[in-house]
Structure formats: C-alpha cells, structure tokens
Homo-oligomer: A and B are copies of this chain.
Amino acid sequence: MRELELLSHIYRSNPKLPPGVTIPPGDDMGAVSIGGVSVLVTVDQLADGVHFDIAYTSIEKIGRKAITRNLSDVAAMAARPVGAVAAACLPRGFGEANAKALFDAMHATANSYDCPLIGGDISVWDQKLILTVTVFAESDGVEPVLRSGATVGDTVYVTGQLGGSLTTIENPMGYTHHLDFTPRIGLARVLASNTDTRPHAMIDLSDGLGLDLTRVCEQSGVCARINTGQLPISPAAGIAARTSGRPAWQHAMSDGEDYELCFTASASLPRQIDGVSITPIGTIIEQQAGPRVLIKLPDGTRVDTADLGWEHTG
C-alpha cells in the first residue's frame, strides 16, 4: 500500500476544502489560514522495524530523527519551523530512563532548530516503539515552494549525496545518514528568498529520488530526464552496490531516506551553499506517455525503469 495512494484518497475525497486551506494535502506540508496567517503543518511517524531498528540504534538518534524527519519537510517548503508536538507509544518495559532520554533528544533537537516541543501524548503498549511528531511552520516572508511548479526547461537539482542512507538489518553497522542528516532549511530559505535562485518546485527525498521526483512531475504535469552520470552518488551507495550487485546509480535513484532536497529551477545555481553541494542532474521535459522519470546512462543508453521500484508510472 503506497502512502501516495492513500494521501491521494484523502485529497480526492475532500473536493470542497474550506477556503481556509491554503495548501491542500499532497505536498510536503499542508497549510491553513488561522487569523489571517498561513500555518504550515507536517506529520511523520518513526516506527521500530520500519524507520529504524532499535537493536542497532541509540535512543538519542531515534529521538533526533523523529524531529529531523519533519524538519526535512519544512525545508522542502522553504518554511521556518516554529513548534512541535510529539506522541510516543512505548513498549511495555521500555523504562522511564529510556523514555526521558528519548524526549530529551527530541527536545534538544527541536530546540536547536528554534522549534520547541509544546505538547505530547504518551502511551504504553505491548507492541514496538512508535513516535509521531507534528511540526508547524510559518513562511516568514518566503512564499512556500510547492511540488507543482516544475516547468519544461527547468534544470533538476539535488543537494548533498544520494543512496545507501538506510541502516538495514543486513547491514547493521552500515550507513547512518538516515539518522545523522541535517535538514536543509537554511539552504532552502536562501534559495527561495531570492528571485534569481528561487526553485519552481521542491520536495525532500524520503522515498528515493526516482519516486519522489515522480511525485513532483505528476503534480506539475511534466516529465524529467535524469543523466545518471551527473548523480552525486554517496560512498555509501557504492558500498551498497557491492552488496546488492546493482549499479551504484540505482541506489542513488532508488534508496530511501536521503533527506536531501530535490528541486527544479530555471536559473544556473551556485554549486554549493554553506558547504552543501547543489548538483544539476537532469532536465524537466514535456509530459509524455510512460514513466514520469526517464533515465539516461552517460553513454546515451536509455534505461527501462519499470523494474526499479518507482511504482506509479503513467
């Protein structure tokens, strides 16, 4: 079951959203107008066995990631976080010391982004640990960047390096970027606040570049052509490739939890901001039948992406 399908269902079944909804469901954050001010909101869950494995992850890193996952959504809108609430369902026997360590880590991370925790809900059950964090944000003078603005001729960019982010049970000592990443809030606001550099569309990479860029293309009514030779492939993707036997570029295109930004812009952008690389990886093209995201190898060969796991073509 795909998150997108269910979110689409929510969206489709709410055709008469009240006028106060300034950004409807389906973007990195939704927004409602409260007292004339647009308030952006996002929610993300972090579940043991799905988004981390408690056997291999410290309590502190779990708490940190519960906050930073949401802040990556805030970055994708070029918004400024203002506050958060956190809910936790703790496994029986988790212990009060662990619970305090968990909330201390969430709290410290949230505070470091000027995003104080202002409430919570805690339950205990006989199932695994799950954390749900909601972050709200304001535009604060920078118009939010939506997924729907990609325009034919735009260049497609990504920040940082891609692939091999996820620690897996098969690779317990492996790649920890999914725990240690830095939400690209500052970079996004710098780009979006300047008319010369403002992205037309933006998303954060949580489910893999192929799938997330597909979402941007769907919502913008366009397609994208990516040149794998331009992808900023992380060293971790190279390691993953040796294990999987698949080329490293496939890990960069398909692996989830990069928490980098992917955006499109007509401008020629700086190659880095504050030490974070910005890499052009392809071009937005006219909508056409078939997959939304087309792949070309450096030698010009086109790749059939049907089996690369980015469902939802067409």
Chain A contact residues, CB within 8 Å of chain B? 1, 3, 5-7, 9-10, 13-14, 17-18, 20-21, 23-25, 29-32, 34-37, 39, 41-45, 47, 49-51, 82-83, 85-87, 89-90, 94, 96, 99-100, 103-104, 107, 111, 114, 116-128, 130, 132, 134, 136, 138, 140
Contact = CB atoms under 8 A, between A and B. Distances in A.
> How many copies of this kind of chain does the complex include?
2
Nearest to A108: B13
Given A10-B107, A116-B14, A119-B30, A132 B83 contact: no
A136 B6 contact: no
B39 A34 contact: yes
A136 B49 contact: no
A47 B123 contact: yes
B82 A136 contact: no
Given A45-B132, A83-B20, A100-B6, A30 B125 contact: no
Nearest to A20: B82
B1 A99 contact: yes
A125 B35 contact: no
Contact of A21 (B41, B90, B118, B127): B118
5 contacts: A3-B121, A14-B107, A25-B120, A43-B119, A127-B128
Given A85-B134, A121-B132, A127-B130, 4 more contacts: A3-B123, A9-B100, A43-B85, A50-B123
A42 to B, nearest CB: 6
A49 B125 contact: yes
A6 B96 CA distance: 8
Contacts of A14: 107, 111, 116-117
A50 B136 CA distance: 28
Interface hub of A23, A82, A94 (most chain B Cβ within 10 A): A82
A7 B47 contact: no
A25 B117 contact: yes
A10 B127 contact: no
A26 to B, nearest CB: 8
A83 to B, nearest CB: 4
A122 B25 CA distance: 13
A213 to B, nearest CB: 20
Q: Which 5 A-B pairs have the closest CB atoms?
A: A30-B118, A35-B37, A132-B132, A30-B119, A134-B134
